[in-house]
Amino acid sequence: MTATFAPPTPDRDSSGGFALTSWIRGQMQQFLAFVSLIVIVVFFSFASPNFLTAGNLTGILVASVTIGLLALGTTIVIITGGIDLSIGTAM
């Protein structure tokens, strides 16, 4: 016996559009991530006087290039269908 379930529908207001609270919730998550980043940068700027120097920022960028290139390559493989991420093929 199989049962089918309909996906949940987003909240809608009386005019048929998406509810304002749903939109605010999505924007708040992005805003909080940005504010958290700013707080971390300010904290480490006060904790270490060498944090916001050109040498340190260059070192951070150089260290992240390898991971960035690997992520870019993996993204291209997934987009072109080289790796199937569907759950059905894993079972």
Give the mean model confidence (pLDDT) for residues 21-28: 82
pTM of the model: 0.50
Which tokens belong to 41? 């940068």
User: In DSSP terms, which residues pair with 18 in a beta bridge?
Assistant: 12
pLDDT tens digit sequence for 33-83: 999 999 999 999 999 989 889 999 999 999 999 999 999 998 898 888 887
- Going 28 to 31 to 36 to 39, the CA torsion angle's sign is negative
Residue 37 corresponds to which tokens in the numbers above?
A: 């980043």
Task: For the chain, give every domain's residue range.
Answer: 18-51, 53-84
pLDDT attached to residue 43: 95
Q: How far apart are CA 42 and CA 36, in angstroms?
A: 10
Place 10 in a pLDDT band, splitting at 50, 70 and 90: low
